[in-house]
Amino acid sequence: MQTSLTMATTFPMKPWGQSSGSCRLTAAAPGLSAISWRLQHTASRSLQAQQSSAQGRHDHLDVVDDRLMSPGGFQPSIWGDFFLHHSDPAGSDEQQAWMVKRAEVLREEVRRTISSPTTFSLHQRLHLIDTLQRLCLDYLFEEEINNVLAEVNIANVSDCDLETVALWFYLLRKHGYRVSSDVFKRFKDEGGRFLAHSPMDLLNLYNAASLRTHGEIILDEAALFARKCLETTLPHMKGSLAREVKCTLEIPLPRRVNIYESKYYISRCEEEAVVDEVVIQLAKLNSNIMQFHYQRELKIVTRWWKDLDIESELPFARDRIVECYWWMLGVYFEPCYSRGRVILTMVIAIATIFDDIYDSYGTAEDCELFTKCIESWDTKEANDLPKPMKYALMKIFDSYKTIENELAHEERYRMSYLKNFTIDLVRGYNAEVKMREDGYVPKSVEEHLQVSLRTGACHLLSCTSMVGMGDIATENSFDWVSSMPKMVQSLCIILRLLDDLQSYEREQMTPHVASTIDSYMKEHNISIEMAREKIHELKEETWKDFNAEWLNPENSQPKQILDRIFNLTRTMEFFYNKDDNFTNCHNIKDTIRLLVVEPIVVVSSQGRSEKDNNIKFNYFYLHQRLHLIDTLQRLCLDYLFEEEINNVLAQVNTANLSDCDLETVALWFYLLRKHGYRVRVSSDVFVRFKDEEGMFLAHSPMDLLNLYNAASLRTHGEIILDEAALFARKCLETTLPHVKGSLAREIKCTLEILLPRRVSIYESKYYISRCEEEVVVDEVVIRLAKLNSNIIQFHYQRELKIIARWWKDLDIESNLPFARDRIVECYWWMLGVYFEPCYSRGRVILTMVIAIVTLFDDIYNSYGTAEECEIFTKCIESWDTTATNDLPESMKYALRKFFDSYQTIENELAHEERYRISYLKNFCIQIQTIDLVRGFNAEVKMLEDGYVPKSVEEHLQVSLRTGGCPILSCASMVGMGDIATKDSFDWVSSMPKMVQALAIILRLLDDLRTYEETWKDFNVEWLNPENSQPKEIVDRIFNLTRTMEFFYNKDDNFTNCHNIKDTIRLLVVEPF
């Protein structure tokens, strides 16, 4: 058997480092091309064969098959293709190697601690072993732990307290030692109560008692006593102790799955400082190392699952491949069992397909024929099956062949056992279909279990758990599991009873086979509630059977084999705790995300080399820091962390990117340029990502997305970014038809409007939902984003009330019926300029100004004659209404309301701010507003004369002014605080290049959408180090430009406001 260092060149699913029969720390094997190609090739051959054999038959299948819709209403997959594209930037070979090396050093320190019997008391040694197990470090110290347990097995515990004795009993029984329950007799008083003095006494006693067998009356009494006391005590507890008691009352510790809880336990140990720091650091490194393995395996199984195309071909089936993997991760979490996990995941996913075919799709006749095809392991009789069942059959056979191909020649005998168990499973399913069709309820639970004991698939999974293991699994092991030993029977019964307890109500909603609850009710003529209670008691009695077999000294199978069966049983408790958490997968998404997506931050320690202190070895990795900043911005939380974000960007500005991938470099470039960095942020960073043919080395859609977004911040002369933009866009357009879900939406949105040009507040609620669904960000961030969204929504609603009242007082509808009534859309537009609560006054003033500009536009475009527009223009120029006698009443009315509104704005400014109105009147009104109406008037004359300017340049001499951008740029500062100075108003009044570029972009968006060169002009000014204006000022100009992209995307969404009504409603009406 080869080691992990060479396995990548052969097949990454093989078990790593198993030749010695033990597991050890290894870096995750790089590369997945072998399995990826093989599975795709197999799928391709299968599809071709299917298409060939289907020709000319089953023409009736062209009719819509209503059964394809899931009658169980199963939730769609949470994860989709996430793990196909997910790449942990902290997982480079160099970083993994460093972690493995560092972990080995820490491992030696812990090893010496475990092996030092004179250093610790009995309780401390037991506590250390318990801690190592709960931190999932025990596999690194198997020999040392076994030696300690052999020593403490013969220890004298007569003077030990209840907490220590119970921990001693629990650990020894958990490891197969049949120690006597008599050790607890001395802890009972004359009244039969146990002498427990603390919650820890009760917890350890309850956990010890959960490993009882039949006839151990003192442990039955201990379990009842401890449970009652813990339930009484729990309401008065807080913190981690309360959580531990609650979890233990739900599932006792011996039945819990350590890997599912390991990250929480690492955090708890660190917070409570109850274990040596060396152990904590090793646990963190080990967790991250294992996570790399899990992510690579998830990529393998996700690709296999995607090639099956379940979503399209079998839409009635549960799409739960990640949950299948997570389930089987509880069977063996150690890195050395990589191949075993992948094979076991494939088989449980196939078993799920079987379950849904028999439960939710197939008729009795279909299921009978399907069963015969499985029994013969042949598709010859499949012609009369519906297309989905035939498709499933071929894919299942192909998948078993894939599994066989991954076994060594001397291991392939295992496939005959696997097939026999699979056949037995579908026979059980078929028997249940007949029971369902006949409406038959077995007369007793015992009769029910004769069939249902097999349909939980536990016997199949018990066998499969050994298929991918190393030499420890022998033919004798497969003969043993094939004999359906008592341990496997107990596992099957426990699963069946757990499943029925949690799925009963859901399964009553559709035609379904009777459950053990129904049989118990029938057998004893009792209520549902009483039957459920009795089924729960039966489950507990079955656990006694299981424990008896676990402790049976005559069991000849190696502990590694029996551990798989015990772990399988533990996973059943987890997946059916309070609910069917496999079917209702949202219950466990955060737990999955925590373990297989989020790495643990490892704080640098003393003595680390200078290279290790480089930012790429800061264990909040560069990519993660960048991704967090990007996420905070898109969630509109960045304004709460301005100082922190600026500090991080100042740090990463000097980062060494030589070892970073394209996705990270592009994200780094995009974020820094977006924040105005140009020094050191050179487009030359992309040179090394071009091959000899000029193609960019992009390996994923995220590479392309980040590259395209980075290239959108290019300036004139940056040829490599021009090339990157063309390359990335073309590739994304080609990729889009082949991706689904949020990735497809992100690509589509980016092709319409690049991320740096999008308005974050307009998309924030969608992005909150996306982050929550895809579990790619910490739950704390999601909760903060939701609260923040609701808080700022209150501000927006109050502001909308203010401006709606002002607009209503203008009475536009009656007096200017030709004008667009768009006050809410005006507010929405200006919300994109500044969304932060602190700019409330600025938003209201800016909304009033853009609404007035809209009135001007409609007066000149839709109402006034050339002569009337000339007079109207002169009135604005003189800022006087005395010359309005020759104007229509509507234009007179508009003029008065316009002047009144500017007076209202002035009244809202503090005394020391009113100089701004002089700018707005003398500079901005006389220069900008007058310039605006002069522009409108010039356009009227062009329209009257039918004149077409000879060039775009000539056109822009007039039309550049009529978009209203110069006045909006100025007005955006009027309502701001002290950051807007006289110098700022002088600057904007000089029509700087940035404002010019904004005006041109709007005009081109409105007219032609040929504007990329102007965006380069804008980017030049944005990145201009000589620009003296504060970032808060130029941010407004950038945001104004972004809003133009939104409002003129595909249509004039301001005029045709129905296009955006749902977006507005989502943000300013609907709370989270």
Please, is 303 exposed, middle or buried when counting C-beta atoms within 10 Å of its C-beta (0-12, 13-18, 19+)? Answer: buried
- CATH node for 93-285: 1.50.10.130
User: Between the CA of residue 191 and those of 194, 199, 209, what are the distances in Å?
Assistant: 9, 20, 19
Q: How far apart are CA 498 and CA 486, in angstroms?
A: 18
Number of helical H runs and strand E runs in the chain? 48, 0
List all residues 6 or more positions away from 215 whose beta carbon is below 8 Å from its beta carbon. none
549-592 pLDDT per residue, tens:
999 998 889 999 999 999 999 999 998 887 888 878 788 888 88
Domains 615-758 and 782-1068 share a fold: no
Whether 4 has a pLDDT exceeding 50, the answer reads: no
Contact 831, 843 (CB under 8 A): yes
pLDDT value of residue 36? 29
Fold of 615-758: Glycosyltransferase (1.50.10)
568-579 pLDDT per residue, tens:
999 999 988 878
Whether 971 has a pLDDT exceeding 70, the answer reads: yes
Listed by start position, the domains of the chain span 93-285, 295-596, 615-758, 782-1068
Average pLDDT over residues 496-514: 77
Residue closest to 70 by CA, chosen among 396, 310, 351: 310
DSSP annotation of 879: T
Q: How far apart are CA 707 and CA 700, in angstroms?
A: 11
CATH superfamily to which 782-1068 belongs: Farnesyl Diphosphate Synthase (1.10.600.10)
Average pLDDT over residues 1024-1038: 83
Q: How far apart are CA 455 and CA 507, in angstroms?
A: 15
Whether 186 has a pLDDT exceeding 80, the answer reads: yes
* Phi and psi, residue 1025, nearest 5°: -65, -15
Q: Which of 390-399, 497-506, 687-696 bottoms out in mean pLDDT, i.e. has the lowest?
A: 497-506
pLDDT value of residue 956? 55
Whether 76 has a pLDDT exceeding 70, the answer reads: yes
Average pLDDT over residues 188-195: 88
125-167 pLDDT per residue, tens:
999 999 999 999 999 999 999 999 999 999 999 999 999 999 9
> Which one has a higher pLDDT value, 940 or 715?
715
Give the DSSP letter string of 3-45.
Answer: -HHHHTTT-TTSPTT-TTS-----PPPP--HHHHHHHHHHHHH
Give the DSSP letter string of 572-632.
Answer: HHHHTSSS-TTTSGGGGHHHHHHHHTPPPP----TT--TTTTSGGGSSS-HHHHHHHHHHH
Average pLDDT over residues 1031-1058: 83
What burial letters (b/e) apply to 880-905, b meaning 16+ CB within 10 Å?
eeeebeebbebbbbbbebbeebbeeb
**Could you tell me the two tokens for 563?**
């551990």
pLDDT value of residue 660? 86
**Confidence category of residue 503, pLDDT binned at 50, 70, 90:** confident
* Packing angle, helices 217-233 and 239-250, rounded to 10: 140
374-388 pLDDT per residue, tens:
999 999 889 999 999
Average pLDDT, the chain: 84
pLDDT value of residue 508? 63
Average pLDDT over residues 620-638: 86
Domain boundaries 295-596, CATH class? mainly alpha
Q: What are the percentages of helix, strand and coil residues in the chain, rounded to 5?
A: 70, 0, 30
**Confidence category of residue 1017, pLDDT binned at 50, 70, 90:** confident
Q: Which of 323-327, 457-461, 798-802, 963-967 bottoms out in mean pLDDT, i.e. has the lowest?
A: 963-967
**Could you tell me the two tokens for 937?**
């008037």
Whether 23 has a pLDDT exceeding 90, the answer reads: no
Three-state secondary structure of 323-383: HHHHHHHCCCCCHHHHHHHHHHHHHHHHHHHHHHHHHHHCCHHHHHHHHHHHHHCCCHHHH
Q: How far apart are CA 733 and CA 212, in angstroms?
A: 62
> Which one has a higher pLDDT value, 400 or 118?
400
Q: How far apart are CA 970 and CA 991, in angstroms?
A: 10
Whether 607 has a pLDDT exceeding 70, the answer reads: no
pLDDT value of residue 617? 32
Q: How far apart are CA 452 and CA 430, in angstroms?
A: 11
Amino acid at 1037: I
The percent of residues in the chain predicted with pLDDT above 90, rounded, is 50
* Max Cα-Cα span within the chain: 112
**Could you tell me the two tokens for 401?**
């062949």
Report yes or no on whether pTM surpasses 0.85: no
Contact 165, 183 (CB under 8 A): yes
Whether 266 has a pLDDT exceeding 60, the answer reads: yes
Q: Which of 236-250, 515-529, 705-719, 866-880 bottoms out in mean pLDDT, i.e. has the lowest?
A: 866-880
Q: Which of 90-104, 641-655, 876-890 bottoms out in mean pLDDT, i.e. has the lowest?
A: 90-104
| DSSP alpha helix (H) spans, 234-337 | 239-250, 258-272, 277-308, 310-313, 321-329
Three-state secondary structure of 173-227: HHCCCCCCHHHHHHHECCCCCECCCCHHHHHHHHHHHCCCCCCCHHHHHHHHHHH
pLDDT value of residue 937? 55
What is the distance between the terminal CA atoms of the chain, rounded to a whole angstrom?
Answer: 54
Contact 499, 576 (CB under 8 A): yes
CA–CA–CA angle 183, 187, 191 (5° rounding): 130
**Could you tell me the two tokens for 177?**
């030692």
Average pLDDT over residues 653-673: 88
